[in-house]
Structures are given as C-alpha cells and as structure tokens.
Amino acid sequence: MRVDKLDQLFDLVKSKPRRRLVAAFANDAHTIEAVSLAVDRGIVDATLVCDEPVMKKVCAEHNIDPGKFRIVQEADEMKAARRAVELINRGEGDVLMKGLVSTDKYMRAILDKENGLLPPKAVLSHVTVVEVPTYPKLLIVGDVAIIPAPDLNQKIAIVNYLIQTAHSLGIEKPKVALNAATEQMLAGMPACVDAAIISKMADRGQIKGAIVDGPLALDVAIDMESAQIKKLGGGVAGDADCILFPNIEAGNVFFKSCTKLANGELGAMVMGAKVPCVLTSRGDSIKSKMYSIALAANAVK
C-alpha cells in the first residue's frame, strides 16, 4: 500500500501489530488527546509518564477515560523524560513521544551517554512528512529540527532516513531531491558540492533504494513546469518524494511555510535512536501529533 495522504497512515498501521507508546511528561491536553485518539483507533497502547493529578484533571475537562492509559507518576519535567527513556530501555515501549517537556530536555534524555537511546556512532535526525493541498503526494523532508548545519556524512545519514521512511510508506523507489539555492553546480557553494557527491554516490550504488539527484533548487524539485522550462531531466526534477535541505534554516522555514501559509499537515519523528521518537512542537495541533504517532508506530522494525 502506497501512502499519498496522511490519513492513509492509520489503515497502514492498523494492519500491523499494535505498538506500545511511552509519552514523556504527558500533562498537556494536546498530547493526552492525541494519544487517546491513537489508543481508540487501535494504533498503540499507551503509557503516560506524567503528574497524575494534572493528567486526570485534563482528562476530566476533555471527557477522556484515564483508565485507557498506564500511568507512571512523575511530576518533574526532566525526571519524566528520563523515566520515559528508561521504560523504553527496559523493553516496555516501542515508540517514545514528547509531551509538555521542552525539546532540549527531551533530547537530553535521549542523548544521555549512559542511559539514553542513541546507539554508538548513530546520527540522530528529524524526519518530517508533509501533506500540502497543492502537491499531489506527500513530501518527506529533513532535517528541520535537530542538526543545524549537517556535514557530508550527516547528510548521507539523513538521505538514508528519508529513503527508509519512504519505503515504510510504500514508496518503492522514492525520488530524492538534494536541495540548494540553485540547480547549477557551483563549486563555491557547499550545498551544491555535497549534493553532487551524494548524487554520484547514489549513481554508483553507495546509496540504495532511491533515485537521488542534486543540486536542485526548490522550484525545479517540486514543480514540473519549472523543471521543463529549465530543461532538467534525471527522474527527480519536478516530482520529488523527498527533499534533503542543506541546513536547518532552509528546512525549518520550508515546513512552517507549508503548515502556516499553505494549510499543510504533517507528521514528524526522530530517527537514529533505538526506537522512533515523536518530536512535535508543544504548539502543534492534535492532528499533527496523531499523524506523528502513526508515522512512528509504522516505522518500528
């Protein structure tokens, strides 16, 4: 089954064994509502590491039965994040989720050298799946939230995460665009140089399972008319499934423009840890958090 709309994620995940989600500091309504809906849909079983009185108050205000969750009491934000990671390490969860805990504390718990979730030499990266009404399919993009200025090796890791995510969504041969400010090969622009190297690696089979091309400016990556006017072929131009951004600024501006200006929706997760980790903004919608839970549950190996 190829997933071209985020709503299709739910049917895909329900065809697989139910995953166990652990939510860190699940004290806010958006997290609790999203997890509750995911439980109701049969996507996950859920453990909430939270301040139980606060969580139950939120449940009462939103007519949610707290009995559907396993509850682990922890009122401190940082301790809740560490406790959630501990439960994953003990084999009591398949997916980690960020609740009201700040992103820096959530990531600190994941990256803890002794008790975290990062395997040796792993690259932790954020993968976002965006649905925009003006584009005919999903766009899988990275990195928009974790690595400020990825080096070549980190970009290679991100490309592989994008490809893995595409495969998990039923896209057999995803088209990966390596983004830069121009599609011209300019030696003085590092994004162009890295894109050319990665593209050639894919040509020679060092990166597998996708068609990879770059450098490609955003217009020629996603707009067929622009690609045709500029006489760009190669199989990716105008029809990208995935986009690697050269830095966090480019990626972050892109996905926020999609959601805030173009009525887009998204699901997002962190890859490279022992388990998929849901990382959304505390201000993201319940729907975005639901999609992120489904995306991460689908990515569990």
Q: What pLDDT sits at residue 284? A: 73
170: alpha, beta or left? (left if phi > 0; alpha if psi -120 to 50): left
pLDDT tens, position by position, 68-103: 999 999 999 999 999 999 999 999 999 999 999 998
- Give start and end residues of each alpha helix (H) in 142-189: 152-168
Q: Which residue has the higher pLDDT, 233 or 20?
A: 20
Measured between alpha carbons, how far is residue 22 from residues 37, 49, 82, 287 in Å?
15, 7, 11, 18
Q: How many helices (H) and strands (E) does the chain have?
A: 11, 11
Q: Give the C-alpha separation, 103 to 116, whole Å.
A: 15
Q: Give the C-alpha separation, 96 to 59, whole Å.
A: 21
Residue 301: band (very low, low, confident or very high) from pLDDT cuts 50, 70, 90: confident
Q: Give the C-alpha separation, 245 to 170, whole Å.
A: 23
33: alpha, beta or left? (left if phi > 0; alpha if psi -120 to 50): alpha
Residue 280: band (very low, low, confident or very high) from pLDDT cuts 50, 70, 90: confident
Q: Give the C-alpha separation, 164 to 155, whole Å.
A: 14
Q: Which residue has the higher pLDDT, 286 or 37?
A: 37
13-118+273-299 sits in which CATH class?
alpha beta
Q: Give the C-alpha separation, 81 to 91, whole Å.
A: 16
Q: What pLDDT sits at residue 281? A: 72
Q: Which two tokens stand for residue 185?
A: 């090969």
Residue with tokens 């997760």: 269
| Domain layout of the chain by residue ranges | 13-118+273-299, 125-260
Sequence-separated (6 or more) residues with CB below 8 Å from residue 258: 130, 132, 139, 264, 266
Count of C-beta atoms within a 10 Å radius of residue 109: 25
Q: Which residues pair with 72 in a beta bridge?
A: 49
> Helix 29-40 to helix 286-299 angle, to the nearest 10 degrees?
50
**The architecture CATH gives domain 125-260:** 3-Layer(aba) Sandwich (3.40)
Q: Give the C-alpha separation, 15 to 31, whole Å.
A: 24
pLDDT tens, position by position, 149-207: 999 999 999 999 999 999 999 999 999 999 999 999 999 999 999 999 999 999 999 99
Length of the chain, please?
301
pLDDT at 279 over 80: yes
